[in-house]
Amino acid sequence: MRKPNYDRSPTVQMPGTEGEAWSGWPAVAGELRRALAAAAAARGRAVLAVECTTGLLPEVREQLRALLQPDLWLDAQDALRPPAAIEAACAPWLGGDDPLFGCRGDVAIETFLDPERSAELHRRAAAARGTVVVFGTGACCCCAPDLLVFADLPRWEGQLRQRAGTVSNLGTANAGSRPSLQYKRSWFVDWRVVDRLKQETLARWDYLLDTTAPATPNLVTGRALRRGLDHLVTRPFRLVPFFDPAPWGGQWMQHVCGLPPAPNYGWCFDCVPEEHSLRLSFGGVVVEMPALNLVFGRPRELLGHGVFARFGAEFPIRFDFLDTMGGGHLSLQVHPLADYVRREFGMPYTQDESYYLLDAGPDATVFLGLCDDVDPRAMLGELEAAQRGGPPFQAERHVARWPARRHDHFLIPAGTVHCSGRNAMVLEISATPYLFTFKLWDWGRPGLDGLPRPINLGHGAANIQWDRRASWVARELVNRVEPVGAGPGWREERTGLHALEFLETRRHWFTGTAPHDTAGTVHVLNLVQGDAAIVESPDGAFAPFVVHYAETFVVPAAVGSYTLRPFGPAQGTECATVQASVRGT
């Protein structure tokens, strides 16, 4: 096993930002008091709106109120509708009793606000003298602020707080309820509300308040933040990865990524901007914020005009790890077809994906497609019987199983039955509808909470493409490698994805300098072989950027030309990257 050099806390230095960021409550409050006083001096009054993401701990409110000591403090939660009315308004998006799935809609903060209560906060803020603070989600809708602070938090940190039972969903008091239901409500409703607030206000933020560590918050001016976004889209960068256990989890990531000892690590999300964060250093003050702030703030420069025109301000490429080395099989599953996910769940596209094998044990396998002699009625009948407590489902009788070796690439267009087998380390490259995976069979095991994991046989049966059988899979989905080009010290291959999928993947092998060009569309890459490589600009447009084995990185569309070559101990060896982009843009 290689010595870990994987960076779990990648940080981007923001140039020219000395004196524009503060760390710790005393410094944060001091700067906000100064800004309030300056605004009040001109008019005799000043209103500060502290707009909030969901998942903040009560300490943020308590500290700000105690340290700012405004003449009037107003809570935006006092403008919310009664909880029962909020629950009724959210119900259409939450799919009834379904434990996982709802419908993604365009939900706004106005769904939560009572117009009369909101108007009363407006009246009180406008009539007050001195300094006024309006705090909470929806604050900027309850006043006419002179200063706007956005109190932010990475979504992964919010999920950890849901698991710990310390936070509630928006407009409810459900802290301590089942975390999976809190996550469902967040994904389909709360996060959509916050996303719209961000998109509508980001250009007007006077400050961003990073509340990831509530005891030591960090504050940065909106001017510096927006200059930071401008800087980010001119260079490669990494998102902050996070790791999570799973019922099937393994041991590979613990060793290769240098993780603390744990029974297992099943997941690593290494490029999922919907839930990831960025660490930005402003004059030595490190601010952690959701990566979506970049997607919302600079979508065309990041994604490219073609991708933005097709997907809007949404990052459509996802890289993650699935570790079954020393673990068990993933659940047998299928992803919805495009028309099904649009009709049933309000999603504009589906989760086409692929498995790229970073590593594999001698007995590693991938389940992909159906046996040539599969009987659909018999297979579904056996799945239903297994779920009712009958004999365990015998997957090998119905599902094709393929040997898996390092650098194999298995393509998985939506509607194809699949799962990674034990003793495989998968780099999953996919589109990003995030959670629409229909489990057909989970090998009879419980989840980490000891409860049965939800099986989605009804949804799954409606999407299985029964003609994707072993002979077709062998021809269309397994190691579809096609040479593209070569030069001194490098060669490029197309490795997929399938024609049914909108992502294109390329693999570059290189002992020298390998040329790349974004051609106006975002690239996502992973160093799948070699200790380290360096990313450089042919004309010095960005500072050299070093990546290590198994690290995923993003090259914004605006970068244009860049090169990769082995670095450090990897010099003199052959390195390889896998690169994903959106076809036809």
Q: List pLDDT tens digits, range 357-375.
A: 999 999 999 999 999 999 9
- 426 and 457 within one domain: yes
Residue 161: which domain range? 12-232
Task: Quick: pLDDT tens for 150-169.
Answer: 999 999 999 999 999 999 99
pTM (2 d.p.): 0.96
Q: Is the residue at 1 inside a domain? A: no
Taking the CA atoms of residue 40, residue 45, residue 51 and residue 52 in that order, the dihedral angle to the nearest 10 degrees is 90
Does residue 434 surpass a pLDDT of 90?
no
- 556 and 506 within one domain: yes
- 558 and 435 within one domain: no
Q: Residue 44: its pLDDT value, please?
A: 87
Does residue 290 surpass a pLDDT of 70?
yes
Q: Which of 362, 369, 367 is nearest to 406 (CA)?
A: 362
Could you say which of 411, 442, 476 is where a domain stops?
476
Q: Is the residue at 248 inside a domain? A: yes
Residue 71 and residue 159: Cα distance in Å, rounded? 35
- 373 and 251 within one domain: yes
Q: Where are the beta strands (DSSP E) in 291-361?
A: 317-323, 332-334, 353-360
Is 149:29 a contact under the CB 8 Å cutoff? no
Q: Is the residue at 3 inside a domain? A: no
- 120 and 190 within one domain: yes
- 533 and 458 within one domain: no
Res. 119 pLDDT band, cuts 50 70 90:
very high
Q: Is the residue at 390 inside a domain? A: yes
Tell me, what CATH number does 283's domain have? 2.60.120.10
- 338 and 442 within one domain: yes
**Per-residue pLDDT averaged across 175-180, rounded?**
93
Is 376:384 a contact under the CB 8 Å cutoff? no
Q: Is the residue at 4 inside a domain? A: no
Residue 550 and residue 535: Cα distance in Å, rounded? 15
Q: Residue 2: its pLDDT value, please?
A: 64
Q: Which of 585, 583, 579, 418 is nearest to 499 (CA)?
A: 583
Backbone dihedral angles phi then psi of residue 161, each to the nearest 5 degrees: -70, -35
- 341 and 253 within one domain: yes
- 487 and 442 within one domain: no
What's the token pair of residue 17? 């930002």
Residue 66 and residue 210: Cα distance in Å, rounded? 18
Could you say which of 197, 232, 267 is where a domain stops?
232
**Per-residue pLDDT averaged across 513-524, rounded?**
98
Residue 76 and residue 143: Cα distance in Å, rounded? 9
- Positive or negative torsion for Cα 25, 30, 32, 36: positive
**Per-residue pLDDT averaged across 126-136, rounded?**
96
Lowest mean pLDDT among 96-100, 200-204, 329-333: 96-100
**Per-residue pLDDT averaged across 557-566, rounded?**
98
- 387 and 344 within one domain: yes
Q: Counting Cβ atoms within 10 Å, is residue 472 exposed (0-12), middle (13-18) or buried (19+)?
A: middle
Q: Residue 447: its pLDDT value, please?
A: 82
Q: Residue 499: its pLDDT value, please?
A: 83
Q: Residue 403: its pLDDT value, please?
A: 98
Does residue 576 surpass a pLDDT of 90?
yes
What is the tally of structural domains in the chain?
3
Q: Residue 1: its pLDDT value, please?
A: 57
Q: Which of 133, 126, 123 is nearest to 48 (CA)?
A: 133
Listed ranges 173-187, 268-282, 551-565; the one with the highest mean pLDDT: 551-565
Q: How many Cβ atoms are within 10 Å of 82's Cβ, its own excluded?
A: 10
Could you say which of 429, 449, 476 is where a domain stops?
476
Q: Is the residue at 2 inside a domain? A: no
- 344 and 207 within one domain: no
Task: Quick: pLDDT tens for 10-68.
Answer: 999 999 989 999 999 999 999 999 999 999 998 889 999 999 999 999 999 999 999 99
Mean pLDDT of the chain: 95
What's the token pair of residue 399? 């599902």
Res. 428 pLDDT band, cuts 50 70 90:
very high
Q: Residue 96: its pLDDT value, please?
A: 84
Tell me, what CATH number does 216's domain have? 3.40.50
**Per-residue pLDDT averaged across 304-331, rounded?**
96
Q: Is the residue at 354 inside a domain? A: yes
- 224 and 255 within one domain: no
The conformation of residue 446, written as its DSSP 8-state character, comes to B
Q: Is the residue at 106 inside a domain? A: yes
